[in-house]
Structure 1
């Protein structure tokens, strides 16, 4: 059974679902889903379609009779097949201000309010004159919420970071901010799991961060349930919410992004071409486990939702349990 709400808000969206050992690409519309073959897409597969999406073609399919199934009768998995995953760090203004203020020296003479104002001015200066901060994730970590999140036994400090993820359409290489949205095919939800005590190297602090070990374990990028086409999403002010065992931990909107989506796509495309189907994560708002002093445990259930993109439910299992 699908772990989504069972109904899609957008007129239609891509999803992928299991049929025994096979995984099929499907078109979800309302509370139904149907398989999509290459002849339906007019392309060899999902990424081929995203390279030059024809949304009218899919609208016609969504309105037609055919082999529809109840959406809640299938098990959804990750709706994308990226070749590259780029992740954005320190990109929610309030979250970064919280981190800066929390890291101030205890002898700092400023009040918390003065420190927040100072940190806010720093963030505004960064937004005006700085650049986004990217690192690379492994596509093999992308899974659906049909796969339990196994918490590796080498740490007890695994954390959540719910994020809006951009799905690239037409290849983007050194595109401008003004042209960037022409290369966005759609959006999905990603929970960027992080092992906190592996992010910074202890053996040689001068090296700095170790994102490979800190973020790339099996299943550390729960994704989906849907790939919602860009024409149906206004990404500038979406609600982002994560609950842990029913308690709200993250609750923000994307209008707090330091660098918006055109800025992110443009900056990320300056080094390497972004390919159709690639994921570009936009950063996570305040409220992760490190903030609350409560990290993931065996038996935890994370319910993550982004306005208009559905809901994913990720169940945590301790390694060896």
Structure 2
């Protein structure tokens, strides 16, 4: 479907962003979207019929000034954004996901899971959890695992809730998009490898996070997080320079109009630079890859309300626009 009207009215920080769009009939193409909701087809503007957003990111240092110039040039042919369908902005080769990275969220979990026989008042247990978080931020490492690119879907596409998913939940996250290969990079140099940022909603079936048949195995992220469409992404990639400091961006998720998540990235335990650096100590991050940075407090398990057929999620992050996805129950196979 074409871009939603509300998306066109609240675009992004800066003069332009990258998107993957398609006409109602036609193949998807890389696009430069301007702040006044106009679209430049980058295949034409850069004279490359086979161009993709990932190709742009492969040569990001050289490409960024060219895109900046295009955004300010009145010569390239433009069309209104509302005429196009918006897809996930990039097809990554790798998706790095983070867990337990928002202080208040983890404190809430700590307090909710009271050990048997622990009769201390909540205030005392909350203070203990806060001390643990401070120590973790100073001494520990981020918790990062791998997701599948096949779970990604567009920012306005329906999300199919698998028939087997008993407790599907939302997890709004800031996603960093890699624009330069990164392996073994320092925290100080990590952001030099980030091209920009986008919005991700990292859905999770809470019922399958932990293996029931063999508890000693631990978590099962394949089953719980990687169903097709479980990672709505986009709508845009906003260049890092336009976003600026990611230390105080507001993440807001509404379910059927009711605010469920509303938190700042100030609450992160490990910031973007530490996340990218940590992932790069093991893996080689490639242009177009995603580093998801964790989800703040306010998930469905907190509210005692999981996703159901017909639910509508509206998710936004400061400077990155907004996405809207509707949940549709899968017909049991």
TM-score normalised by the chain length of structure 2: 0.93
Asked if 1 retains the 8 angstrom alpha-carbon contact of 2:97 and 2:293, the reply is yes
Spell out the pairing of 1:236-247 with structure 2 (5 A cutoff). 236-247=247-258
In structure 2, C-alpha distance between the alignment counterparts of 1:81 and 1:110, rounded to whole Å: 49
> 1:152 — aligned with what?
162
Asked if 2 retains the 8 angstrom alpha-carbon contact of 1:244 and 1:300, the reply is yes
Asked if 1 retains the 8 angstrom alpha-carbon contact of 2:98 and 2:145, the reply is yes
In structure 1, C-alpha distance between the alignment counterparts of 2:22 and 2:284, rounded to whole Å: 31
Asked if 2 retains the 8 angstrom alpha-carbon contact of 1:236 and 1:255, the reply is yes
> What stretches of structure 1 of length at least 5 have no aligned partner?
none
> 2:40 — aligned with what?
34
Q: 2:282 is paired with a residue of what secondary structure?
A: coil
Q: 2:28 is paired with a residue of what secondary structure?
A: strand
Deviates more, 1:102-111 or 1:6-15: 102-111
1:72 has 2:82 as partner: yes
In structure 2, C-alpha distance between the alignment counterparts of 1:197 and 1:282, rounded to whole Å: 22
Q: 1:173 is paired with a residue of what secondary structure?
A: coil
**Post-superposition shift, 1:79?**
0.4
CA RMSD in angstroms, aligned pairs only: 1.6
> 2:115 — aligned with what?
105
Asked if 1 retains the 8 angstrom alpha-carbon contact of 2:156 and 2:323, the reply is no
Spell out the pairing of 1:75-94 with structure 2 (5 A cutoff). 75-94=85-104
Q: 2:132 is paired with a residue of what secondary structure?
A: helix
In structure 2, C-alpha distance between the alignment counterparts of 1:41 and 1:295, rounded to whole Å: 47
Q: 1:128 is paired with a residue of what secondary structure?
A: helix
Q: 2:46 is paired with a residue of what secondary structure?
A: helix
> 2:288 — aligned with what?
277
Asked if 2 retains the 8 angstrom alpha-carbon contact of 1:41 and 1:49, the reply is no
Deviations 1:186-222 (A, max 9, x none): 0000000101101000001000100000001010000
**Post-superposition shift, 1:52?**
3.4
In structure 2, C-alpha distance between the alignment counterparts of 1:304 and 1:72, rounded to whole Å: 19
1:12 has 2:16 as partner: yes
**Post-superposition shift, 1:90?**
0.2
Asked if 1 retains the 8 angstrom alpha-carbon contact of 2:3 and 2:81, the reply is yes
Deviates more, 1:108-117 or 1:88-97: 108-117
Deviations 1:229-257 (A, max 9, x none): 00011211000000000000000000100
> 1:52 — aligned with what?
59
In structure 2, C-alpha distance between the alignment counterparts of 1:312 and 1:281, rounded to whole Å: 16
**Post-superposition shift, 1:106?**
5.3
**Post-superposition shift, 1:69?**
1.2
**Post-superposition shift, 1:274?**
0.3
1:313 has 2:324 as partner: yes
> 2:3 — aligned with what?
2
**Post-superposition shift, 1:41?**
8.2
**Post-superposition shift, 1:55?**
2.1
In structure 1, C-alpha distance between the alignment counterparts of 2:320 and 2:131, rounded to whole Å: 33
**Post-superposition shift, 1:305?**
0.2
